[in-house]
Structure 1
Amino acid sequence: MKHTWRKGLATAALCSILLGFDSPDVDPVQKNNIENIVKSKLSTEEKVDKILKELTLEEKVGQMTQITLDVITKGENVFVSDEPLTLDQKLLEEAIKKYKIGSVLNTANNRARTPEKWNEVITQIQKLAMKEIGVPVLYGVDAIHGTTYTAGATFFPQQIGMAATWNPDLNKQGCAVTAYETRASSIPWDFSPVLDMGRNPAWPRIWETYGEDVYLTSQMGIAAVDGYEGVNNDLSDETKVAACIKHFIGYGSEKSGKDRTPSYLPEVELREHYMPSYKAAIDAGAHTIMINSGIINGTPVHASYKLLTELLKEELGFKGLVVTDWADIENLHNRDKVADTHKEAVKQSINAGIDMSMVPYNFKFADYLIELVQEGEVPMSRIDDAVRRILTVKMELGLFEKPAPKVKEYPDFGSEKHEKIAYNAASESITLLKNNKDILPLKEGTKLLVTGPNANSMRTLNGGWTYSWQGEKVEEFAKDYNTILEAVENKFGKENVKFAAGVEYNHEGQYYEEKNIDIDAAVKAAEGTDVILLCLGENTYTETPGNLHDLYISQNQRKLAEALAKTGKPVVLVLNEGRPRLISQFESEMTAVVHTYLPGNFGGDALADILSGEVNPSGKLPYSYPMYPNSLGTYDHKPSEASEKMEGMYDYNSSLPLQYAFGHGLSYTTFDYSDITISKSDIGPDEQFTVKVKVKNTGNRAGKEVVQLYSKDLYASITPDNKRLRRFEKINLEAGESQEVVFTLKARDLAFVDADLNWTVEKGEFRFMIDDQSVSLNVSETKKFDKLSN
């Protein structure tokens, strides 16, 4: 049935051409006019305005239409493509000649391609688009921790791991590499970075975020945009891509913790904790933005004029391209039931402020939108605004002049230079959470049992969005890299390493299914070893397939941990997971705990170097690691949510007991903080001040430390947060070395969103805290800033 529909569509289009209903010939005058406009010395804005006037309504709506690659390939039906991958010329001509589509996304058959294949496919698409319309196609993919769908690309830690480095410059380097290798694949548009907030540990996309804190997320987001687009956002640089910040706004705030379920989000909370990261990336010059698939306070974001036009385009001043997520206009009718027809869904979303529809499987969007304009239901001014934004991105990317660069122009694709950056990122992300009896680093000659379902898997090291959407094809493409087991064998010698999985993932089933449960074999294998390296966590997943009902780590893995602990041998627990799975049932029996997050292809090597002591761990948690499933919360909670203990931990009997606190991470050396000072004890609401602290490496080896500055508003008209991260800096100190770290702030950095939705600095006392040091400051008067002053 699908096969008939798909091929029949092409036949119908061909028949209409033969009958004279739809001429295949482009107006040569129009095409020449566009070419001359592009070659002129006019500004980008002037060129775009002139090209816009050359386009028909059908061509404009086509520019707003985005289809997935499977739609235009040879294959059984619209969802399955033949292998080897080949474009279907008739279907391609239908998409471009009849529907004038302006954008294509994704890979075919959910699998990676070589850069040469990408060059071939995209060049073919671009040649026809330039011949028939004179406007290039904008091709986009989700390259979120490396070029997801390109074989041989360099893969970095997922965003949650990059956040754990607390090193924005390293994140910028990684994003620059991803941009380079994505452009080498002839793809100029990257649906990244994710600037959603990871504030619910159950949410299956928390690993795609930079964690729970809005300041850390904002700084990492700025670095990502600078890496993807360059610090000057010059997209004519063919090593850069157009960034797409996503998913505006409030995604991840779902009440249930399950993907794409409703959120109930007060506007004070939306503005204070969910908006600033997007504003930071918009101010950094990001060219495009993708919209939240979910529902906030009963209204789908894709249908919200208030959020898309009033907040995003008017208040935040976003001038770039606004694209939907996958099939989300159709979802207004199919899922959310706010539009009684698909046509009504198109009307609602375009009038709300959507510029491009990720359709992705048919052309109904184009048909409906043309009808809506002709009927006066969607104003032509809205169409022109959308297409102007789309053309601007294409023009700034240089696609009119060079629609598809070739991989041979990118000699550093997959190079050792790029891989070194990925290794460094993995090394700095890995976080030492516990190290009783200084069991780590392991002594030379230590005999190890490596066990657990994550011990011998490249798939689990990478996570989703790696070679395929759910990461299930990783093993096919990552054979040349080292699993944890292989890296440990290389580092400590195969003769010193035993392996028994104990538990394995059922890669043929759902991500959480397990098989080959043989805990007794693992216990027996521990005989004759000195230390057990227990590798637990999760299989790969993302989005709705990753929804779960129980945040505890699987019961099979718990039983494995408990059985190995009973051997009496020290157990080093290695966590390899996308979200903080609960381990409180057995954590006390673990001698050490190391968190790797999803470190990418070099995670095994980086972990082995940390275990051996060759690398000193320096990662810090980018989220609060909960202890119990009914006690989930963030470090910036309200005072009534938890009673504090010393050192930033929560009281065990409070509502928010933690396994490990936000910002926590140990080192093989020690750091001492002293001599905190503040430049002024009293300031006005427009003044600037500095906070200084001395940090000394008091251990016997070099180490990196993240110096974290928090503020606490003692009293406010709205209950203040427990504390807020205001600045951080990662420093490297040799043994015995000291450094004075200076943070510069403005009073307005202490602002919060008040009941009237204004950013407000209120008079009163603020306390600043760095480690065990604190100092106070008094703000002399209250001042309200406009809504943009965050």
Structure 2
Amino acid sequence: PVHADWTLLTKWLKNDLQWDGLIVTDWADINNLYTREKVARDKKDAIRIAINAGIDMAMEPYKVDYCTILRELVEEGSVSMERIDDAAARALRLKYRLGLFDHPNTTLKEHPDHASKKFRKEALESAVETMVLLKNENSLLPLSQGTRLLVTGPTANSMRSLNGGWSYTWQGHLTDSYAKDYNTILEALSATFGAANVSYVPTVSFNNEGHYEDETVSDFAPALKAAEKADVIVACIGENSYCETPGNLTDLHLSANQREMVKALAKTGKPILLVINEGRPRILADIEPLAQAVVDVIIPGNFGGDALALLLSGKRNFSAKLPFTYPREINSLVTYDYKVSEEVGKMEGVYDYDARVNVQWPFGYGKSYTTFSYSNLHVDKHQFGPSDMLTVTVDITNTGSVDGKEAVLLYSSDHVASVVPDNKRLRAFDKLALMPGETRAVRFTIPASDLAFVNAQGLWTLEAGDFTLSIGPLSATVSCSESYTWTSPNI
């Protein structure tokens, strides 16, 4: 456990990196060294191990005997006064840096921008910039004014879902009462498209008094009836708020209730827009083909409903890319930087990566109401050394008919390494706004050390050999002329 790891906490962090901050445990985690991880005999043994490993402050929520036991350990010589002095100095240093000796209390008047119009505008902008358009068949989106909408599903009229856990309360269960002045998805769509054009039938609702996945299912008939008068069905699916252990899952599938709701609505023949709002990728492979459009809003906060309405109406354009790999099956939850040995076609006998890992949408995927093309990829050095800087440029053109923003991602791939290399690693990214027909150059400057990896000895190393740098569909090969290994993690 990290709370007992001297190498990580003291050698690497404090000594090698010369980091002079304060290390604090999480909730009761010194106790967990003996109650859960079983690396200590009892509480006294756990305190000895943790403090000597480098812990400076303990979060002890249950008893007041921690200080008494720690003093006993010092008097017995099991914990040195030097270690106590170091921890105390780190606590005092942090308090001085925070100005707590001059201003021990924080008052609202000292922060006039808190919850101000300025910050609300930035919160709205953040929500607009982070929603991902994953599917848009036959240009269902944007929706034109006058479009009649049937809004349904458990996340449609919930501020709790928009904010998630650790927001207004731990599990977020009181959010709807605290955030009632903001718009849910339903309220924002009604304001944007007109209340007369928006009908709402919950169909599946969250039971906020119980577990976060407790759902109430009503008769589907009212929703099916309402769909007859709708042009588009907006099915708002996903999760209620949760966090930490109460939110743990044993199955990544979206709830059967919600999936059955979508299947029933699909039988009406009306186009379906799936609005996904969840904190992790819930499996929905059986209902995705039933939808003409899919948007993942990814817990956007109080202004999520307003941001979604702006995007669906075309007043703003989607520009976000998916920040994780969205699996199609429960055994396909992987990171984007999987090892090259897991890919298809490398050599005979290698496991078939595509057969074992079935992806719904890959990392970095995201659509827009316009299109972009990439050209003229250039790297300033084809041969480089460990201390060099690499400058990569590429031209991006808006080839569509509306304004848009494109997130430009630079990846590197190591051809051969002493430890099996990742298939690719994200090295830099930028987002730029382009008008129709406009072309702009994007410039990335990265140190060669960014291409290093941690070797079998736990040290950062850059090995001589070839690398591929890629942006969009374009790529270039560069070569490192000599190997170098850093003896400190501070490269």
TM-score by length of 1: 0.60
From the superposition, tell whether residues 623 and 409 of structure 1 become closer, same or farther in structure 2 (CA, over 3 Å).
same
Deviation at 1:677, TM superposition (A): 1.3
Q: Provide the residue aligned with 2:241 in structure 1.
A: 540
Q: Indicate whether 1:671 and 2:363 are aligned.
A: no
Alpha carbons 2:398, 2:435 under 8 Å: kept: yes
**Per-residue CA distance 1:488-534 (angstroms, 9 max, x = gap):** 00000000001111111111111111113333332222111000001
Q: CA deviation at 1:307?
A: 2.1
Please say if 1:760 is aligned against 2:454.
no
Q: Which residue of 1 aligns with 2:174?
A: 473
**1:642 aligned residue:** 343
- Residue by residue over 1:55-108, the C-alpha shift from the partner in whole angstroms, topping out at 9 and shown as x without a partner, is xxxxxxxxxxxxxxxxxxxxxxxxxxxxxxxxxxxxxxxxxxxxxxxxxxxxxx
Equivalent AA in structure 2 for residue 600 of structure 1: G
Amino acid at match of 2:436: A
Deviations 1:266-314 (A, max 9, x none): xxxxxxxxxxxxxxxxxxxxxxxxxxxxxxxxxx221222222122212
Q: Post-superposition shift, 1:684?
A: 2.5
Determine whether 1:690 maps to 2:391. Answer: yes
Judged with a 3 Å threshold, the aligned counterparts in structure 2 of structure 1 residues 685 and 305 are, in CA distance, closer, same or farther, namely: closer
Aligned to 1:625: 326
Counterpart-to-counterpart distance in 1, 2:7 and 2:34: 20
Residue identity (%)? 53
Which residue in the other structure is 1:549 paired with? 250
Matched, 1:313 2:14: yes
Contact 1:759 1:789 in 2 (8 A): no
Task: Report how far residue 669 of structure 1 moved.
Answer: 0.9
Give the AA of the match of 2:246: P
Task: Provide the rounded CA distance (Å) in 2 between the counterparts of 1:644 and 1:535.
Answer: 40
SS in 1 for 2:31: helix
The amino acid that maps onto 2:219 is D
Q: 2:355 aligns with which of 631, 654, 660?
A: 654
2:353 paired with 1:681: no
Structure 2 match to 1:369 = 70
Contact 1:641 1:654 in 2 (8 A): no
User: Structure 1, residues 518-566: CA drift from partner, whole Å, max 9, x if none?
Assistant: 3333222211100000100001111111111110101111111111112
Q: Distance in 1 between matches of 2:220 and 2:174?
A: 27
* 1:286-365 correspondence runs (5 A): 300-365=1-66
The alpha-carbon deviation at position 444 of structure 1 amounts to: 1.3
| Superposed displacement of residue 335, structure 1 | 2.2
Q: Distance in 2 between matches of 1:319 and 1:693?
A: 40
1:660-693 CA-partner distances (Å, limit 9, x unpaired): 1101111111111011111122223322221111
C-alpha separation in 2, matches of 1:659 and 1:498: 31
Q: In the alignment, does 2:183 pair up with 1:482?
A: yes
1:602 aligns to 2:298 (yes or no)? no
Q: Against the structure 1 CA distance between its residues 570 and 428, is the aligned structure 2 distance closer, same or farther, given a 3 Å change threshold?
A: same
Distance, in Å, in 1 between the alignment partners of 2:68 and 2:455 is: 45
Find the aligned partners of 2:424 and 2:32 in 1 and give their Cα distance: 39
Which residue of structure 2 aligns with residue 80 of structure 1? Answer: none
Amino acid at match of 1:637: Y
Are 1:443 and 2:144 an aligned pair?
yes
1:558 aligns with 2:259: yes
Give the aligned residue type for 1:706.
A
**Residues 399-418 of structure 1: pairs in structure 2 closer than 5 A:** 399-418=100-119
Q: Which amino acid aligns with 1:618?
A: S
Whole-angstrom distance in 2 between the partners of 1:641 and 1:552: 24
Q: Given residue 388 of structure 1, which amino acid in structure 2 is its aligned partner?
A: A
CA distance, structure 2, for counterparts of residue 449 and residue 464 of structure 1: 28
Q: Which amino acid aligns with 2:463?
A: E
2:355 is paired with a residue of what secondary structure? Answer: coil
1:388 equivalent among 89, 97, 103: 89
Name stretches of at least 5 consecutive residues in structure 2 with no aligned partner: 347-351
User: Does the 8 Å CA contact 2:12/2:489 hold for their aligned counterparts?
Assistant: no
1:586-601 to structure 2, matched below 5 A, reads 586-601=287-302
Q: Check whether the contact 1:617–1:668 (CA below 8 A) recurs between aligned residues.
A: yes
Show the 5 A alignment for 1:52-71.
none
Give the letter for the 1:523 counterpart.
L
Counterpart amino acid of 1:475?
A: D
Equivalence map 1:136-175=2 (5 Å): none
Give the 3-state SS of the residue equivalent to 1:337 in structure 2: coil
Cα drift, residue 317 of structure 1: 2.3
SS in 2 for 1:600: coil
Q: What secondary structure, in the 3-state scheme, does the structure 1 residue paired with 2:26 have?
A: coil
Encode CA deviations 1:201-232: one digit per residue, 9 max, x unaligned: xxxxxxxxxxxxxxxxxxxxxxxxxxxxxxxx
Amino acid in the other structure paired with 1:771: G
8 Å contact kept, 1:517–1:556:
no
**Equivalent residue, structure 1, for 2:162:** 461
**What residue is the counterpart of 2:195 in the other structure?**
494
Q: Which amino acid aligns with 2:188?
A: A
Give the corresponding residue for 2:485. 784
- Coordinate RMSD, CA, aligned: 1.6
Q: Look up the equivalent residue of 2:71 and give its one-letter code.
A: I
Q: Does 1:431 align with 2:132?
A: yes
Q: Aligned equivalents of 2:402 and 2:209: distance in 1?
A: 46
Residue 654 of structure 1 aligns to a residue whose secondary structure is helix
Structure 1 residue 405 displacement after superposition:
3.5
Q: Which amino acid aligns with 1:429?
A: T
Which residue does the alignment assign to 2:349?
none
Q: Aligned to 1:322, what secondary structure does the other structure show?
A: coil
Q: Aligned residue for 2:227?
A: 526
Question: Secondary structure in 2 aligned to 1:358?
Answer: coil
The one-character-per-residue Cα deviations of 1:575-595 (angstroms, maximum 9, x if unpaired) are 000001011111111101101
Hey, what does 1:722 align to over in structure 2?
A: 423
Assess if the C-alpha contact under 8 Å between 1:642 and 1:656 holds in 2: no
Contact 1:470–1:542 at 8 Å: present in 2 too? Answer: yes
Q: CA deviation at 1:789?
A: 4.8
Query: What displacement does 1:603 show?
Result: 0.2
Provide the residue aligned with 1:18 in structure 2: none
Aligned amino acid, residue 542 of structure 1: C
Q: After alignment, is 774-783 or 432-441 more displaced?
A: 774-783
CA distance in 1, matches of 2:147, 2:75: 76
Q: Which blocks of at least 5 consecutive residues in structure 1 are unaligned? A: 1-299, 646-650
Bigger proportion of residues as strand = 2
**Residue 644 of structure 1: CA displacement?**
8.4
Q: Distance in 2 between matches of 1:419 and 1:409?
A: 18
Q: In 2, are the aligned partners of 1:339 and 1:345 still within 8 Å (CA)?
A: yes
Contact kept? 1:450, 1:535, Cα under 8 Å: yes
Query: Are the equivalent residues in 1 in contact too, given 2:16–2:490 (CA < 8 A)?
Result: no
Separation in structure 1 between the aligned mates of residue 118 and residue 235 of structure 2, nearest angstrom: 32
Cα gap change, 1:612 to 1:761, in 2 (>3 Å): same
CA distance in 1, matches of 2:218, 2:353: 34
**Aligned equivalent of 2:283:** 582
The structural deviation recorded for 1:659 is 0.6
User: What is the TM-score when the length of structure 2 is the normalising length?
Assistant: 0.96
Q: For 2:128 and 2:175, locate their aligned partners in 1 and report how far apart those are by CA, in whole Å.
A: 21
Quick check: 2:310–2:316 contact (8 Å CA) kept in 1? Answer: yes
Letter in 2 for 1:627: R
> Quick one: structure 1 residues 786 and 365, their matched pair in 2 at CA, closer, same or farther if it must change by over 3 Å?
same
CA displacement at 1:428 relative to structure 2: 0.3
Note the alpha carbon deviations across 1:127-186, whole angstroms, 9 max, x for none. Answer: xxxxxxxxxxxxxxxxxxxxxxxxxxxxxxxxxxxxxxxxxxxxxxxxxxxxxxxxxxxx
SS in 2 for 1:692: strand
Give the match for residue 24 of structure 1. none
The answer (yes or no) to whether the contact 1:757–1:787 under 8 Å persists in 2 is no
